[in-house]
């Protein structure tokens, strides 16, 4: 299994400092929706404290939490890939403090500094690979439990 990594701690110090030059401290109160699936993805966050649930709408009245993120975790990767729309929704499960990054500004920094760009893309890719592997494991657990219990 891949190892969970954190964006800011994975970057070399000089690149982390360069990225932090465009960071803004923000907060979200408990139960506030940070973004909705399908919305414009033009920013991302690194959570400083608190917890965020990533969710998806499965019926008009039901959302399912697909992941819970905490301190140090990257929230949002859709700013990096066309069509720049959120794949999931996100809601603050607790009060959240985070660093917010403007996607277009970070992309401009990455073009200006190709080593930073490569580091950011590689790190985000590693984070995505870990989350995909974790999600696959959870799905397999649910499938195995349902097969043992039988049809409902």
Give 82-109 pLDDT, tens digit per residue: 999 999 999 999 999 999 999 999 999 9
pLDDT tens profile 54-67? 998 888 888 888 88
What mean pLDDT do residues 28-52 have? 97
Percent of the chain with pLDDT over 90: 72
Where do we find the tokens 């990594």? 5
The confidence band for 111, taking pLDDT boundaries of 50, 70 and 90, is very high
Mean pLDDT of the chain: 90
| Contact call for residues 5 and 128 (beta carbons, < 8 A) | no
The confidence band for 144, taking pLDDT boundaries of 50, 70 and 90, is confident
E strands, 37-83, where? Answer: 43-49, 52-59, 62-69, 74-75
Q: Model-level pTM greater than 0.85?
A: yes
What local confidence, expressed as pLDDT, does residue 2 receive? 58
What mean pLDDT do residues 4-10 have? 88
Maximum CA pair distance of the chain? Answer: 56
72 CB-side CA count, 13 A: 8
Percent of the chain with pLDDT over 70: 90
Residue 72 has pLDDT above 60, yes or no: yes
What local confidence, expressed as pLDDT, does residue 104 receive? 96
Q: E strand or H helix at 70, and its extent? A: none
Q: Which two three-digit tokens encode residue 84?
A: 């720049």
Residue 126 sits at φ, ψ, to 5 deg, of: -65, -40
Where do we find the tokens 């950011």? 120
């Amino acid at each position: 299994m891949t190892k969970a990594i954190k964006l800011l701690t994975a970057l070399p110090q000089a690149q982390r400092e360069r990225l932090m030059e465009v960071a803004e401290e923000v907060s979200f109160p408990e139960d506030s929706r940070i973004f909705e699936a399908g919305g414009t993805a033009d920013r991302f966050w690194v959570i400083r404290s608190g917890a965020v649930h990533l969710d998806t709408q499965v019926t008009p009245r039901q959302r399912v939490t697909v992941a819970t993120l905490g301190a140090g975790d990257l929230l949002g990767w859709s700013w990096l890939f066309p069509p720049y729309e959120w794949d999931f929704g996100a809601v603050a499960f607790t009060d959240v403090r985070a660093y917010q990054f403007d996607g277009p500004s970070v992309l401009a920094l990455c073009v200006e500094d190709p080593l930073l760009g490569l580091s950011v893309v590689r790190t985000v890719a590693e984070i995505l690979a870990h989350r995909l592997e974790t999600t696959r494991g959870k799905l397999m657990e649910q499938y195995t439990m349902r097969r043992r219990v039988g049809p409902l």
